[in-house]
Amino acid sequence: MKPALGRIVHVIVDPSHNNGSDEAAAVITRVWNDQAVNVRVLFDGPAVPPEHAPGRQDWMTSVRLRDSRQALEAEHARVEAVWQQSGNGPVPLAYFGAFWPAGEGHQPGDRPRQY
């Protein structure tokens, strides 16, 4: 799928900020290329000022965009394995990225099915 401003993707989030789920919807706010976007995360819960939710990322910038959660997790495992082999200890970066929701592919301008 091709990223575009306003399209919905899913992101990995801290479950403690998302009513127990580690996956949340997000709206693409900037497209850098076909594999990197900025997103605004739509948490399952009320809007919370940053000072009341330390660590909650309402905005994510330059996140990897992959075709599926499985592809994102496989990439993370590969990167982590390479890092571990370097002898530098645990990966210093948080695990996050965006991926397309499972289901049929829709493009901007698609018409809904008629019932």
**What is the number of other CB atoms lying within 10 angstroms of the CB of residue 91?**
14
Q: How does pLDDT run across 13-54, given as a tens digit for each residue?
A: 888 889 999 999 999 999 999 999 999 999 998 777 767 777
Domain count for the chain: 1
Q: What is the DSSP letter of 104?
A: -
Q: Which two tokens stand for residue 54?
A: 């330390």
Q: What is the 8-class DSSP label of residue 55?
A: T
The amino acid occupying position 34 is D
Q: Is residue 109 a part of any domain in this protein?
A: no
DSSP 50: G
- Answer yes or no: is pLDDT of 94 > 80: no
Full domain range(s) for residue 57: 8-99
Domain membership flag for residue 2: no
Distance CA 115, CA 103 (A): 18
Closest C-alpha among 54, 9, 49 to residue 30: 9
pTM: 0.77
